[in-house]
Structure 1
Amino acid sequence: MIMTRRERAWIAVKRGAGALRDRWFPEPASAPLLSQKAVAGPVPWVIAIMTALTVVAAAGGLALGSIARTAEADLAGGVTVQIAGPAQAETRKQASAAVDALRNLPGVTDVRRLPDAEREALLRPWLGDAAMEDGEPGEDSLLVLPELIELRLAADAQDTGIESIREALAEPAPDATVSADMEWLAPLEGAISALQWLAVALVALLVTATAASVLLASRSALAANHDTIEIMHLLGAHDRQVAQMFQKAAGLSAAAGGAAGFAVAQATIIALGRRFADLGPGNTAAGLHWYDWIALALIPIAGVALAAFTARITVLATLRRMP
């Protein structure tokens, strides 16, 4: 058969490509006794889902703790004095006397009397624009804005500062009400603590579910490859060698599923952080520090170790009961 020059060149290219493929990507001498897919089963998908849920739950718990610490640091030592009840002139008189008394009080580091515009801005969301416009504060107005004084106590005066402030204001401002900024945070701390324990419980449940899924997948793979394992035993393979094959398959499957699950969880956390961006520096995404992200990154790694350990223990225990 006479071939043209182009056909001979094409055959030479194909032979060269085949030679390179055989050199750099040789085909295995024989197929493995137990394939990765037959051993792993649905483990990668289960690990991906469990990892994503675990990372999101853990991130929520860490972010809540960070938010609580940030709020506590911002409000520590803060005290608010409110003067409300008497007429506008009497309220202003008591507020002025209270500011003078507080500035001379030991342990008080900062005193600030809120101006009218700032007090109106605080009340406007509650009373509405119409009420604020119809009742401009003044001598003849029925709307009397309470006087608000913000002050901050030194660290060594926070325990006894509230009582000393009340005693100092008893005479110059008898209508004053003193409250620590940390008082309203106590119920919030209880709620945050409960949510954190809920996150811990969810993580524990997800870890248990992950181990159970690997256990069931390993038992199913053992039952499906029972004849192959018997042949391996006849050829001299030990239980530890068989278990090592299952352990490797479970570890690789968990690594693939964990990486995918962590990527999904990271995208979810960032998306939630953007949704809560209006909350300020304590929102979900900003509330996670670099060490929190390191702790979250360890979750899929721990998932790989858990899957491999569970598969090995399950296979060894099952093989010991086999005849």
Structure 2
Amino acid sequence: MSAVIARVLDPARATRAMVGVLAIMLFLTLLAAAAGIGAGRGAAALGARLSGRATVQFTDADPAARGAAAARTLAALRSSPAVTRARAVPRAELARLVAPWLGSAADDPDLPMPELIDLELAPGDDALPAARAVLRRAAPGAVIDSHGAAVAPLARLLRVASILAVAVAALMVGASAAVVVLAARAGLEAHRATIAVMHGLGATDAQVAGLFQRRVARDAATAALVATAAAGVTAVLLIPAFAVGAGALGDIVALGAQGWSVLAALPFVFVGFAALVARRTVTHALARTL
């Protein structure tokens, strides 16, 4: 009986095609999941890093008045409980910031530069309004810019990209399930006569379903190995280039230990899911037709 059961599924052309399709599906799922995790972490990191930061800018045309307003405001902000740290940005640092656009002219001492104060705000939603109130009293003409508000559109874009990537991964999983269902039904149809003989010899529906489950699990495991290897090669090729291009922001969209753990678990979940879908498909079909 075991020898008959072992030959129910023909391990030829159709099986190889299913392995290839499943490998492609899992490879795309891994890429989509990585993109979703990276984008989601990026949105959270941007919010955490910049939500408590702000910059005060003084643009008075008179350098003396500009410097006096900056000094007065700096002292007022440092005494405010809404501000945990305030520092005047040195001119040399400003020159480095504008050097990519102005070149050597950025070091010209006659070049007018605004006075800037870099702020770290206390936790809480009321910190920024409190800092604005201090600024209105000390220097009404100054402007305060919230870093979190400046990058809010980018953070929203990253969150949308994360949702889309998760949706794509879910679609890939659904398509993989459809492939398994079609393969299981095709196998049942191709071996209907053999399965009828097996039933006559005493085989149960559970035994037949277990055969399909084991076969699909082996095929899915092969596909998982191929897809994981391809995803690993892709990561090796892309991560160094991305790290160079992202520069200081590279850690914002890094996957992190939890992200890599999720990606490492996906192939195993994929194999178990494919085997479960195959078993349920076969069990349901046998209960209806045989």
TM over 0.5: yes
Q: Distance in 1 between matches of 2:254 and 2:117?
A: 30
Aligned to 1:315: 282
Q: Give the match's secondary structure for 1:111.
A: strand
Alpha-carbon spacing, 1:42–1:93, altered in 2? closer, same or farther (3 Å):
same
Cα deviation per residue 1:87-131 (whole Å; 9 max; x = unaligned)?
333222222222222222233221111111211222233x43275
Aligned residues: 287
Backbone CA RMSD of aligned residues: 2.6
User: Which runs of no fewer than 5 residues in structure 1 stay unpaired?
Assistant: 1-27
Query: Are positions 1:89 and 2:71 aligned together?
Result: no
Q: Which letter maps to 2:261?
A: I
Matches within 5 A, 1:227-242: 227-242=193-208
Q: Which shifted more, 244-253 or 42-51?
A: 42-51
Q: Which letter maps to 2:237?
A: A
Identity percentage of aligned residues: 37
Cα deviation per residue 1:151-209 (whole Å; 9 max; x = unaligned)?
21222xx4333333333333542321012221113212211111111012101100110
Deviation at 1:297, TM superposition (A): 1.8
Q: Which shifted more, 92-101 or 212-221?
A: 92-101
Aligned to 1:117: 92
Deviation at 1:29, TM superposition (A): 8.0
Q: Distance in 2 between matches of 1:309 and 1:31?
A: 19
8 Å contact from structure 2 (residues 54, 120) kept in 1: yes
8 Å contact from structure 1 (residues 43, 250) kept in 2: no
Deviation at 1:282, TM superposition (A): 4.9
Q: Distance in 1 between matches of 2:127 and 2:6?
A: 76
Deviation at 1:247, TM superposition (A): 0.8
Q: Which letter maps to 1:300?
A: P
Alpha-carbon spacing, 1:243–1:177, altered in 2? closer, same or farther (3 Å):
same
Q: Which letter maps to 1:88?
A: P
Cα deviation per residue 1:29-57 (whole Å; 9 max; x = unaligned)?
88932256147342222221111111111
8 Å contact from structure 1 (residues 66, 282) kept in 2: no
Q: Which letter maps to 2:61?
A: P
Aligned to 1:63: 38
Matches within 5 A, 1:174-213: 174-213=140-179
Equivalent of residue 113 in structure 2, options 126, 145, 148? 145
Matches within 5 A, 1:216-255: 216-255=182-221
Deviation at 1:61, TM superposition (A): 1.1
Q: Which letter maps to 1:254?
A: A
What TM-score do you get using the length of structure 1 for normalisation?
A: 0.79
Q: Which letter maps to 1:129?
A: G
